[in-house]
């Protein structure tokens, strides 16, 4: 079985930072990309990410999907 992977819908991101704060591996950071709503969105370092779903649980905007 392949390792789970995290997927993001950055168009939903409003840059609140909850995911960054709660990530136990510091795998999420703010990027320089601005979405259609005018927010700097997050980026995930897939090398650091362990797919623990902390980001998924705290995100109020349903940016994350793990599959």
Kindly indicate the confidence band of residue 1, based on its pLDDT and cuts at 50, 70 and 90: low
Specify the pTM: 0.92
**What's the pLDDT score for residue 3?**
78
Q: How far is Cα 27 from Cα 42, in angstroms, rounded to an integer?
A: 10
Q: What is the pLDDT of residues 5-53, one digit of tens each?
A: 999 999 999 999 999 999 999 999 999 999 999 999 999 999 999 999 9
């Amino acid at each position: 079985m392949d390792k789970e992977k995290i997927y993001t819908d950055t168009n939903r991101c409003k840059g609140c930072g909850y995911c960054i704060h709660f990530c136990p591996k510091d795998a999420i950071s703010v990027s320089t990309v601005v979405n259609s709503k005018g927010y700097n969105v997050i980026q995930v370092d897939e090398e650091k990410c362990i797919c623990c779903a902390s980001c998924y649980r705290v995100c109020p905007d349903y940016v994350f999907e793990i599959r």
